[in-house]
Structures are given as C-alpha cells and as structure tokens.
Amino acid sequence: MKDITVKQQIKQRVQDSLDYGNALSDEQLMEQIEQIVFAYSRESFLTAGQKRTLVQEVFHSFRGLDVLQPLVDDRTITEIMINSHDQIFVEKDGRVLETEIRFESREKLEDTIQAIVGRVNRIVNESTPIVDARLADGSRVNVVLPPIALKGPAMTIRKFPENPMTLDDLIARQALSREAAQQLIRFVKAKYNLFIGGGTGSGKTTFLNALGQYIPPDERVITIEDSAELQIRGVPNLVSLETRNANTEGKGGITIRDLIRSSLRMRPNRIIVGEVRGSEALDMLQAMNTGHDGSLSTGHANSVQDMLSRLETMVLSGASLPVEVVRKQIASAIDVMIHLTRLRDRSRRVTEITEVIGVEEGEVKLNPLYRFVETGETPEGKVIGQLEPTGNALEGTWKLKMAGLI
C-alpha cells in the first residue's frame, strides 16, 4: 500500500508542476518526473531500483498504458486479459496466469481504455459499449464496457511478434511439415485462392502473415481488416484498409463489405481479408471469382467441413440465394482450405490442407491433401504427430502450370 501512496504523491507533484499551456515531449516529461522523484528521495529514502521503477510507472501513467505498459513491453506475454480494474491475467508460454498488477481504480482503467481507442479514432461508451482497436505496436484490443460487462470495464489485448513468424519458424515449431510448406508456397506464387480456418487463438493471422511473405513483390495487394493486424512484408505496392465504427448518431460506419467493394475499384492483384464473420463472405467470394486470383482470407471454424457450412451461413445472411448457388460460388472461388488447431498441449498445428474441386450432387467436393496424424504423447503431455500427405493427387493443377511451377 505504501508503494501505491508514494506513486500517487509523485503523480500529484508532477501534475502540479505541469504547464498545460505548453506541451512537453516525452523526453521533457521524463526529465521532469526524474527531478521530482529525486527531490522526493531526499525527503524519504528510496533505493536506486525504487527510483527507477517510480519514474517508469509515473511516466507510463501519463503517456503509456499505466500499469499495463510493462506487460505490453514483455515479449514473452502473448495475451493480456483485464477482467476488471483489480483482476488482470496474462498468457505466457501457453499458460494463463493471474498477475498481482492492479489499476488504482476503475476510473484509471477507463481513462486508459479511452486513451487506447482515441488513438485509432474509435469511440466506446455506454451507448457503444463494445469496440475493437489496436495499440501502436499492432497488438489487437477488444473492449467491453458496462452495462454489458457486469464486473466493470473489460479489455483483452492480443499481442503479435515484432517480426512476423515465417514458415521456417512454424516448421521449427512443428506447426507443419516442410513438404506441406513448400506446397503452400507454390500455391501462393501460382495465385491459388486460399482460405485459412481455425478456432480462436489457433494462429490464423500468424499463418496468413507467413504465407503473405511469398506474394511476388510486383503485385498490388489490398488488405482489409476490422482492426489492422496483418504485417505483409516485401510487397511495396500495398494498401491497408480498416473498418470504422459508426458515430454516436449511428452514422459514418464503414464495414468490411464497404471496403471489399471499394477495393475492387483500386486495381488490386490480390485482396486479403483479415477475417470474414458475416455477410461480407459473399463479397469476398465474388472478388475471388472476378479476376482477383491469389486472394486470401480467414474464418473461425472447427474443421474444413465446418468452415464450408459457416461460409454458406454467412453468405445466406446477406443474400437470399439458393443453397446450390452458394455452394457453386464457394467451390469456384476457393481453391485450397487450410485448417489450424490449438491442441490440448497448447501447441498450434496445421491439421488439414484440402483442395476444393467443385460441386457434385449438390455438395462441395473436397480432396484432402494433408492431414495431421497423432502418434502419441510424451510424459509431459506434449502431443506427438505430424502433418502427413494423404496420397491424393492435386486435381486442379492448371494454375501451377500457368505459373510454370510444374
């Protein structure tokens, strides 16, 4: 309790010393905080470590994310879950742990939330209590406010590596085999339309980033997302689009459907939709069917078959079409489906790579190319297994031939 009181005293002294008519740079503010902390230490003894910690904590409370800043800076933490101002969990090495970190008050948490959403021109309040945003480093943020969140403001921060994982990194982590990775690289270069499915936290965005590194650098790529997360490297002709929430009057909202339609007038070679959740699935499929080969997207599902069913449902939510027509749209638009799973040992693996080859007797016909085969478990509970070829030959090879890859 003493530490919190000291911090509050220092913050009050810093606030009293600020001239709000003159904006201070980060360096000037840090210098002012240091001077006040050193002056305080002459009144009450503080060790060098305590002074350093106080300076950092007070600075973060003014310019950073307050008590969350050390968690955001810790690269070993992959997710931060704030259930309320006095209950914060983190995910580290696949394990969820409760921390001893607390906000001073509910109001301080609310201030931090408003600072985060304000930086990306989003609004969150009682009338719009749910919002998606992002941090400066690209981390994804979801906020839910009362009255929806019963225990007070809740926020979840999904962090991403500073340098996106490559397929080599994923192979090293045994997420997929080298043979399968080489095949996927050929698919990307030959402009196959790929769809990545998987559950929450299965690594869809990471995998999409890894595949995106193999898009030829002479192509024009448009990325479309709810909250910008993708880090496509090596493509100079890249435009990143992000949705916008409606204002307090319910106007001015820009949806993924709006962005997909607009992107078609931007002369893209490929369109990458970060994730489809609803009626925009129809626009995505139509884009894939109208000369934008090589497009990629992701969606939530428990299997390839489940992803097909969910795509049907999403399309039908935005258009009254016969199911047979929808299935033909899906089969002609998507060439290959990739499914990722987070296994019981918390490892993320590619568990299926399947070719979509058409519609037969009213059903989408699939040709499984690779499947994850589990062969056992270590004493520590780690799943043993690998992605193995099914032995089925790829039927749709004309794009590979056109690209000179076979």
CATH assignment at residue 98: 3.30.450.370
Q: Are 135 and 160 contacting, i.e. CB atoms less than 8 angstroms apart? A: no
Residue 115 shares a structural domain with residue 1: no
Domain boundary pick from 160, 193, 221? 160
Domain count for the chain, please give it: 3
Residue 342 shares a structural domain with residue 268: yes
Rounded to whole angstroms, the Cα distance separating 271 from 286 reads 11
Radius of gyration of the chain (CA): 25
Residue 95 shares a structural domain with residue 128: yes
Residue 38 shares a structural domain with residue 150: no
Residue 349's nearest CA partner among 378, 375, 383 is 383
Instruction: Check residue 138 and give its pLDDT.
Output: 82
Residue that is written with structure tokens 């998606």 in the block: 132
Instruction: Check residue 224 and give its pLDDT.
Output: 96
Instruction: Check residue 22 and give its pLDDT.
Output: 65
Domain boundary pick from 48, 63, 78? 63
Instruction: Check residue 1 and give its pLDDT.
Output: 37
Domain region containing 154 = 68-160
The DSSP symbol for 21 reads T
Rounded to whole angstroms, the Cα distance separating 80 from 88 reads 7
Give the distance from CA 344 to its chain's centroid.
21
Residue 384 shares a structural domain with residue 299: yes
H or E element that contains 171 = helix 167-172
* Per-residue pLDDT in tens (0 to 9) along the chain, 406 residues: 345 578 778 878 877 787 665 667 778 888 888 888 888 888 888 888 888 888 888 877 777 788 898 899 898 999 999 999 999 999 998 889 999 999 989 998 999 999 899 888 888 998 889 998 889 888 899 999 999 999 999 999 998 877 889 999 999 999 999 999 999 999 999 999 999 999 988 999 999 999 999 999 999 999 999 888 898 988 999 999 999 877 767 788 899 999 999 999 999 999 999 999 999 999 999 999 988 999 999 999 999 999 999 999 999 998 999 999 999 999 999 999 999 999 999 899 999 999 999 999 999 999 999 999 999 999 999 999 999 999 999 999 999 999 999 8
Give me the phi and psi of 2, to 5 degrees please.
-60, -40
Instruction: Check residue 4 and give its pLDDT.
Output: 53
Domain boundary pick from 19, 37, 63? 63
For residue 223, what are the β-bridge partners? 240, 272
Q: What is the pTM of this model?
A: 0.82
